[in-house]
Amino acid sequence: MTIDKASFFAALATLVAGGAGGYYAGEHGLLRTVVPSGVTELQAPLTSPTTGATAATAPPTPACDDTVGSPAACPAPGYPSEEGGCGALSTKRCEDFKRAMKPRVAERAVDCLNALTPAQRCDPNRVNLCAHEALMNACPEPGGAVVTAARATDDLTAHCDSIAHACGTVGLGPSPGECRATLAGLSAFGRDQMASCMRTHCADKGLVGCEAVIDAK
C-alpha cells in the first residue's frame, strides 16, 4: 500500500497536537516541543524524563580566593635555649608566614602553629609542616599562555622557570606542577624569597625547606 508522505504527516500532526504545550511533527518526522505562547524556551521549566519533577538549578560554586583572610596573633617566644627552650623559633616562622603567604593561606598556617604544643613548636620540621600543609591547600592559579614564539608567561611561571634554571646544575629542581602548587599560595614577596632561597639551597633544603622562608642563609 502506498502512503502519501504529506498526508501521513498531516494526520500525525492532528493526532499528536494537543494544547499549547503539545508536540508537532517536524519536517523530518521528529516530534518537537511546542512552547506555549509568550513563554521562551529559557523560561520553560526542565522536567525529569522519569519523574516529571522540575529540575533544580545547582548553585554556583564559590570562587576560591586566598587574598581575603586575617591570621591570628603569633605565639609568644618560648624559653631561651639556655633554659631548655627554643626561644623565638615558632614566633619567627609565624611572622614569616604572614609576610610570605597570601592572607587566607597564612591564616591556616598560623592556626596550625598555635595549635601545637610547646615541645612541637621547638621542632623545626613540625613548624615547617604547618607551612607546607597550608600551601598545599591554597587556591590554584591558571597557567600562563603561550602567545608568541618568545613565550609570554605569568608571574608564577616566571618564578618557576627561575627556580628550574637555578636547580638545573644539580638536577634536583621540582617539576613545574610541584613548583606551581607551592608558589600559588605565596604573596609576590614570598615568591621572590622562595626563588632566592632555591638559588642557594636547591640541593640541601629543596622546595619544601624553602617554603615561606625569608632571608634564607
Is residue 77 a contact partner of residue 93, using CB atoms and an 8 Å limit?
Answer: no
211 CA to centre of own chain = 18
Across 45-54, 97-106, 206-215, least confident range = 45-54
In a domain, 29, yes or no: no
Mean pLDDT across the chain, nearest whole number?
A: 77
In a domain, 176, yes or no: yes
In a domain, 150, yes or no: no
Short-list 104, 132, 139, CA closest to 209: 132
86 and 132 share a domain? yes
Separation between Cα atoms, residue 131 and residue 54, nearest integer Å: 47
Short-list 204, 205, 207, CA closest to 159: 207
Supply the range of the domain harboring residue 129: 81-136
Short-list 107, 104, 111, 110, CA closest to 68: 104
In a domain, 190, yes or no: yes
Residue 206: other Cβ atoms inside 10 A: 16
What's the pLDDT at 28? 44
DSSP 40-68: -TTTSPPB-TTT-PBPPPPPPPPPP--S-
Q: Quick one: 97 exposed, middle or buried, by C-beta within 10 A (0-12, 13-18, 19+)?
A: buried
128 and 160 share a domain? no
Q: How far lies 55's CA from each of 20, 46, 83, 175, in Å?
A: 21, 5, 67, 44
Across 31-40, 117-126, 195-204, least confident range = 31-40
Q: Quick one: 148 exposed, middle or buried, by C-beta within 10 A (0-12, 13-18, 19+)?
A: exposed
> Taking the alpha carbons of 167, 168, 171, 175 in that order, is the dihedral positive or negative?
positive
- From 136, 163, 179, the end of a domain falls on 136
What's the pLDDT at 172? 72
132 and 161 share a domain? no
What's the pLDDT at 170? 57
In a domain, 195, yes or no: yes
- pLDDT above 80 for 37: no
Separation between Cα atoms, residue 117 and residue 128, nearest integer Å: 14
What's the pLDDT at 147? 40
- Domains contained in the chain, number: 2
The pLDDT tens digits for 118-162 are: 999 999 999 999 999 999 999 998 764 444 434 446 888 899 999
What's the pLDDT at 52? 54
Separation between Cα atoms, residue 130 and residue 197, nearest integer Å: 19
In a domain, 198, yes or no: yes
What's the pLDDT at 60? 65
Q: How far lies 208's CA from each of 62, 132, 163, 181, 183, in Å?
A: 29, 7, 13, 11, 11
- pLDDT above 80 for 208: yes
The pLDDT tens digits for 70-85 are: 999 999 998 787 676 7
Separation between Cα atoms, residue 137 and residue 101, nearest integer Å: 12
Q: What is the mean pLDDT of residues 7-32?
A: 45
What's the pLDDT at 138? 96
In a domain, 97, yes or no: yes
141's grid cell: 592559579
The pLDDT tens digits for 163-196 are: 999 888 656 788 888 999 999 999 999 999 999 9
In a domain, 187, yes or no: yes
- From 103, 136, 169, the end of a domain falls on 136
183's grid cell: 608558589
